[in-house]
Amino acid sequence: MNRKALAVAGALLGVAGFAPAAHATLTGIASNIVVDGYTFHIQSCSGSACANLQWGADSSLLGVQFQESSGPILSASNSTAADVSFQFSVTGPSSTVPASITQVGVLVNGAVNGNTSTVTSGAFVSETLVQAPSSNVVEQQNLNAPESYYSLTPGFTSLDVSKDVHINAPGAGNTTTITAVYQDFVLVPEPATISIMLCGLTAAFVARRKRRAQ
């Protein structure tokens, strides 16, 4: 389990404080993020958290992380709830044959105080993935675990992601916060790319045998 996963696991087990994951270089959500040739673009954002919401490249994988410029993204206490929704696109490079996105990961970093079983039961991330530009819905998920991965079949080179992050803290004395949201994508090369790679390896092997035979 990586450091981010340990941090979240500690938070959802009721630990008041934990070592946060390494911070990326953050910028306002009006700016595009480019990671390994894949462009991330915010299409919309709804909720009070949007005013100071920032994002940056998740340095550990192909992905992005969301944080506030100061303080948590969401905070709820004493029977209140909080919510933020945003939509962004991820588009593969046009200059080369892009690899396909075959798996999606969501990780939520936060802290809980009070009756943790009650607090965390109302925390979830709901997201819908749409194939771009066809607008075909390819996946819908309601995730209530701090770290979740799910697969996409077949893979896709461009996606629109609609995400809703919601927390509540039912009952007096309960508080919960979300300080960061990570969205990562796992890539598998296209069959044509794999074929090119195999042809290159075969050619190199044949050339080596010819040199040895001389």
Provide the pLDDT for residue 119.
Answer: 52
Provide the pLDDT for residue 116.
Answer: 59
Query: Would residue 136 count as lying in a domain?
Result: yes
Span 117-124, average pLDDT: 62
Provide the pLDDT for residue 11.
Answer: 34
Between CA 119 and CA 76 the distance in angstroms is: 9
Query: Would residue 122 count as lying in a domain?
Result: yes
Q: How many domains does the chain have?
A: 1
> What's the pTM?
0.75
Query: Would residue 201 count as lying in a domain?
Result: no
The mean-pLDDT minimum among 15-19, 86-90, 93-97, 163-167 falls in 15-19
pLDDT digits (tens, 9 = 90+) for 138-171: 999 988 778 889 999 888 999 999 999 998 887 7
Render the chain in DSSP notation, one character per residue: --HHHHHHHHHHTT-S--PPPPPP--EETTS-EEETTEEEEEEEEESGGGGGEEEEE-TTSEEEEEEESSS-SEEEETT-EEEEEEEEEEE--SSS-PPEEEEEEEEEEEEEES-HHHHHTT-EEEEEEEETTTTEEEEEEEE-SSEEEEEEEEEESEEEEEEEEEEE--STT-EEEEEEEEEEEEEE--HHHHHHHHHHHHHHHHHHHHHHH-
Provide the pLDDT for residue 121.
Answer: 58
Query: Would residue 62 count as lying in a domain?
Result: yes
Query: Would residue 199 count as lying in a domain?
Result: no
Span 200-205, average pLDDT: 42
Query: Would residue 197 count as lying in a domain?
Result: no
Provide the pLDDT for residue 36.
Answer: 87
Span 113-130, average pLDDT: 74
Provide the pLDDT for residue 43.
Answer: 95
| 205 has a pLDDT exceeding 50 | no
Give the residue from 101, 21, 30, 10 showing the smallest Cα distance to 65.
Answer: 21
Query: Would residue 207 count as lying in a domain?
Result: no
Query: Would residue 195 count as lying in a domain?
Result: no
Residue 50: give the domain boundaries.
Answer: 3-189
